[in-house]
Amino acid sequence: MILLINPKTTKSTEINAEYFREPNLGLLYLAAILEDQGIPVEILDLEQFLPFNDTDLERIIEHHIRGFTIFGLTSLTNNFSYTLQIVKIIRKLKPHSKIVLGGPHASFLYEDILNMENLINYICVGEAERSFPELLNKLLNDSYKDLNIIQFESILRKIKGIAFKNHLGKIEFTGNPEPINIDILPLPARYKLVHECYHYRVASVIINRGCPNQCSFCSRQNLFKKPRIRNIPSIMAEIRDIISLQNYTYINFYDNININKHFFEEFCKMFMNNKINIPWGCELRVDSITQEEAQLLKQAGCRLVATGIESASLEVLTKNFKFQNPQDVIRGLHYLKQVGIPVQAYFVLGLPGETEKTFLQTIQYIKQLPFDANDRINYFIATPYPGSRLWIDYEKFGINIFENDFSKYDCEHVIFQTHELSREQLEKLHHIAKKVESHFQQDNIE
């Protein structure tokens, strides 16, 4: 049997949040695909356990890995060290097991990871809905068990999208996998989530993969080379599935639901035509939203819009390939507030080109936003995630990445400094930014 493991992904700043995020949807898709193929699979979601220490973690892992010989784990950048801790426990308890790692962090740094103490056997690079089941079929196939290592490696090379260390100690990558047709994927296997300590109340639904934008701080365009939008029937089926589980009271839709105007209209009409009453929120580009589209969102039952504003400096935005006019953003926000939709706005401190002047410009800009007590902002620190332009082209951007501890890649720590802003200056500005985040309402900003 196969055990898929979701390490804890909740950041320290989210511990007291009203809800915990669902586990990585990639794992839920993989579980559904394996079930369809008749491969027994279970999910260990460490988010569903109360806070625990290292001793508790080993006890939980030891209890749940009995009967399994193949383990699949996913990892973000900021919880990669935690994922390795889990892998080491599995290696100690089951030294001959096969361990497969996936997720964005592993996809971009597979060479470094495979050279780490021989902890990981295989890495699925990019979209794994095809490569992971193919790999498992090879590992579980009795007819391959008598092959020598050279013969078996020749079979592995036929699977697109995996990386492994061969018998000579050389890292091999079999090439990027073909983009997945997201319309024909089975529904994420939420029924596999055993409710150890609590039920999830908020579901996350992916409506697209990839992004046509090229923001310097995002790795999505490199993780998913070809942007794809799901069809409405596929999304509708997942909504019905979520409602049938009965424990969910809210749905978040990701990412940027108005990339395509026609899709946006059909998406909103889906709620009205099918009388879907479950509250929901979404992410979108607010700079391009019209008054009519804001009204359509309200009629469809949207309860919250999250949007990336990042900066009020057009120069900073342009330098970081965020092609968005701050004045268009204000107009779009006014449309949303006219119909009473709360907004969650994201800002980023310390992007290349940022100065104290542009930071203060953004603070003054926030004072102009038509926000009320129902709205929130988050002020993040620019973080060069592996796979992003900031990571790949750091020299071109003129940044000095001095922090190598990936656990601090959580948008809450200063990771790099620029020619314009030193680490000390960034930390000072971060203190001001967090103050604004807590007291952002116009009357409270100092």
- pLDDT bin (cut points 50, 70, 90) of residue 198 is low
* Cα(6)–Cα(77) distance, integer angstroms: 14
Residues 222 and 328 in one domain: yes
Does the pLDDT value for residue 317 go beyond 50?
Answer: yes
Q: Which two tokens stand for residue 283?
A: 């992410």
Q: Which residues contact 44 (CB under 8 A, 6 or more apart)?
A: 3, 4, 5, 6, 64, 65
In a domain, 277, yes or no: yes
Q: Which residues contact 431 (CB under 8 A, 6 or more apart)?
A: none
Q: What's the CATH code of the domain at 349?
A: 3.20.20.70
* Alpha helices in 217-260, H assignment, sequence order: 220-223, 232-245
**What is the bridge-based pairing of β-strands 399-401 and 416-418?**
antiparallel
- pLDDT bin (cut points 50, 70, 90) of residue 13 is very low
Full DSSP string of 124-159: E-S--TTHHHHHHHHHH-GGGTTS-HHHHHHHHTTS
Residues 142 and 234 in one domain: no
In a domain, 162, yes or no: yes
Domain that holds residue 77: 2-173
Q: Which two tokens stand for residue 155?
A: 């079979």
Q: What tens digit of pLDDT does each residue of 104-148 get?
A: 999 999 999 999 888 999 999 999 999 999 999 999 998 888 899
In a domain, 163, yes or no: yes
Q: Which residues contact 104 (CB under 8 A, 6 or more apart)?
A: 76, 77, 219, 223, 385, 386, 387
Q: Which two tokens stand for residue 273?
A: 């035509």
Q: What tens digit of pLDDT does each residue of 389-429 get?
A: 999 999 999 999 999 999 999 999 999 999 999 999 999 99
In a domain, 60, yes or no: yes
Residues 331 and 412 in one domain: yes
In a domain, 189, yes or no: no
Residues 339 and 433 in one domain: yes
In a domain, 227, yes or no: yes
